[in-house]
Amino acid sequence: MFIGACFHERTIAAASPAGAGPNHPFQKENSMDQLLDLDRRRLVLGGGLLAAASFAPSIAWSKALGGNPFTLGVAAGDPWPDGFVIWTRLALKPLDENGGMAMTSYPVRYELSSDDQFRTIVRSGETLARPEMGHSVHVELTGLQPARPYWYRFFAGHDMSAQGMARTAPALGTAVPRVRIGVAGCQNYEQGLFTAYRHLAREDDVDAVFHYGDYIYEGRSRDGLLRRHAGDEIYTISDYRRRYAQYKMDDDLQAAHAAAAFIMSFDDHEVDNDWAGDADQDGTPPEFFAYRRAAAMQAWYENLPVRRSQLPRAQQVQMYRRLEYGRTLRMHVLDTRQYRTNQICAPDRPKNNNCLDQPLNSGSILGAAQEKWLGDGLSAQHSWNLLAQQVMVMPLTYPEHRAAGRTNMDSWSGYPGSRKKLVQQIEQRKLTNVVIATGDVHAHHAGYVPSQEGDVTSRPAAAEFVTTSISSGGNGQSGFQRWGNMDSENPNCQLNLDQRGYQLLDFHADHMAAQLRVVDRVDQADGALSTAAAYHLPNKKVEISKIG
């Protein structure tokens, strides 16, 4: 079902989860008391060695820290039927070196409750916020009941974090009346407020939020924008940590994380614009770009609620994985960055050092191993297959006057051979239940991936809902056209809307629906929310009907 094993931080649980057998991941925490005791002996507070025998964190930390360390909020991620990840990161002064923390490990306690008043504590324990990991904490909770909400919080001494809530996934194989997935991403701090996240946090019964990427933007601060990045373009681990901290200080983003579990991925700006595999957009030698990518991948892990199986190894992150919601939804989270070949120049654009001199069909956006993994996992046993990924799959032809060219070569249109293979996998399995969730282009789109490569009028193979940005691109336009009239060349695309917002995808046993939310402005904090469009896919078929 899932890629990767379940590993845990060094935690002490209040009780072993019910039904945990000898092969259950929870049982791997053997001798954690002894391991924690060893770590405690090594802790240095105020320049003095703290003996384990006198260890009293609730008293010591309030004096040692001198302030609230939970300035970056809390988060949860990757719901499974028996648990999820909870996260926080200690930072007394988020934009200072090391977040204002001493370069030592700090004990952090956590509590998980079955009610929002914390009357019934079902798990509690302690772990270490380590300097090697930017003083972040990832706790993988197991043994929980499926399909229900839980509330969590952290403690460091006398300081308590805000509380968050996350829902476990339904038990495998069970019937589920509805699965509601939010979709969001592209949150450029400089170009607008994160008002859409405040509205997303207030949505009812969201099972999880898929974040398609561009959580941060790597560029230097520019004049004339709404807010300013701290510092120049980012390259080092310290740079990336500070950039994440600046974004995570935003109250609206913190509210969204606290309201639901996030299923995280990444696109290009978490590293560098339009990067592909071992290549960046500037022609940097791969051996040097590898250092920047490694720093970016570590910071991504440190600052987001992801599992230990995604800890960077050999300069890579195991990002593609599956999550399941009973028999209703199988979610395939894809990675369209780490394994792709470099972008190829469009025929109508001059060649430069970002392009490879080879036929257009020779490139791959997923890589062979991920392509096979996806094909093996596409399921007719679930009502819906959701491909949760980063860049647009369906072909889209842009107007002649578009500066970046008529084809987005950074999308699947730059890798038509990969798109053809994906359609073949869907067709070979006779699937009519594939929906694709995408972001990247700062616009709402709704449309089809055609069954015949090169023929946008051919029968649909999959439906695709492209989610606009949270803030990237500024206020945008209230009309439905972004680049002018594109309808005649793109009959497979039913919507082209340039406003900020997010989407809600509701999956039922026999149908699914999409609500495309927008805020009317992101340059002021009072942006109003509305539903710009809604779509319906009946009878487990990729036949999009507009509602209203």
> What is the C-alpha separation between 370 and 83, in angstroms, rounded?
26
For residue 53, pLDDT over 80 is answered with no
* pTM for this entry: 0.88
Residues 6+ apart with CB under 8 A from 92: 65, 66, 67, 68, 69, 71, 99, 100, 101
Per-residue pLDDT tens for 400-444?
A: 888 888 899 999 999 999 999 999 999 999 999 999 999 999 999
The predicted structure's pLDDT at residue 185: 98
Q: What is the helix (H) or strand (E) element at residue 83, kind and residue range?
A: strand 83-89
Helices 368-377, 416-428: crossing angle, 10 deg rounding:
20
DSSP state of 163: P
The predicted structure's pLDDT at residue 348: 44
The predicted structure's pLDDT at residue 65: 77
| Predicted confidence band of residue 486 (pLDDT cuts 50, 70, 90) | confident
> What is the C-alpha separation between 531 and 536, in angstroms, rounded?
14
Does residue 278 contact residue 289 with C-beta atoms inside 8 Å? yes
- Highest mean pLDDT among 62-71, 122-131, 222-231, 343-352 belongs to 122-131
Q: What is the helix (H) or strand (E) element at residue 128, kind and residue range?
A: strand 121-129
> What is the C-alpha separation between 206 and 506, in angstroms, rounded?
9
| Predicted confidence band of residue 122 (pLDDT cuts 50, 70, 90) | very high
Long-range contacts of 286-293 (CB under 8 A, 24+ apart): 290/315, 292/235
For residue 27, pLDDT over 50 is answered with no
Task: Single out the residue of 213, 298, 201 nearest to residue 250, CA to CA.
Answer: 201
Q: Across residues 151-166, what is the average pLDDT? A: 96
For residue 11, pLDDT over 60 is answered with no
What tokens appear for 396 in the block? Answer: 């889209």
Three-state DSSP class for 530? Answer: strand
- Higher local confidence (pLDDT), 212 or 543: 212
- Higher local confidence (pLDDT), 447 or 344: 447
Task: Single out the residue of 19, 43, 187 nearest to residue 107, CA to CA.
Answer: 43
The predicted structure's pLDDT at residue 539: 79
Q: Across residues 348-358, what is the average pLDDT? A: 49
Lowest mean pLDDT among 31-45, 129-143, 339-353, 514-528: 31-45
Three-state DSSP class for 39? Answer: helix
Amino acid identity at 144: L
Q: How many CA atoms lie within 13 A of 458 on its CB side?
A: 13
Does residue 408 contact residue 442 with C-beta atoms inside 8 Å? no
The predicted structure's pLDDT at residue 365: 97
The predicted structure's pLDDT at residue 6: 38
Burial class (CB in 10 A: 0-12, 13-18, 19+), 178: middle
Q: Could you tell me what percent of the chain has a pLDDT over 90?
A: 76
| Predicted confidence band of residue 364 (pLDDT cuts 50, 70, 90) | very high
| Predicted confidence band of residue 254 (pLDDT cuts 50, 70, 90) | very high
The predicted structure's pLDDT at residue 343: 82
The predicted structure's pLDDT at residue 481: 67
Q: What is the chain's Cα-based Rg?
A: 23
Task: Single out the residue of 118, 122, 112, 111 nearest to residue 156, CA to CA.
Answer: 111
The predicted structure's pLDDT at residue 309: 96
Q: Is the dihedral of CA 289, 292, 298, 300 positive or negative?
A: negative
Burial class (CB in 10 A: 0-12, 13-18, 19+), 287: exposed
The predicted structure's pLDDT at residue 72: 98
The predicted structure's pLDDT at residue 357: 54
Per-residue pLDDT tens for 267-285?
A: 999 999 999 999 999 999 9
- Rounded to 10 degrees, what is the CA torsion of 226, 231, 234, 240? -90
The predicted structure's pLDDT at residue 527: 97
Distance of CA 276 to the CA centre of its chain: 18
Per-residue pLDDT tens for 299-319?
A: 999 999 999 999 999 878 999
> What is the C-alpha separation between 421 and 426, in angstroms, rounded?
9
Lowest mean pLDDT among 63-72, 217-226, 504-513: 63-72
The predicted structure's pLDDT at residue 3: 37
> What is the C-alpha separation between 488 and 266, in angstroms, rounded?
33
Task: Single out the residue of 535, 332, 544, 542 nearest to residue 427, CA to CA.
Answer: 542
Q: What value does the mean pLDDT of the chain take?
A: 87
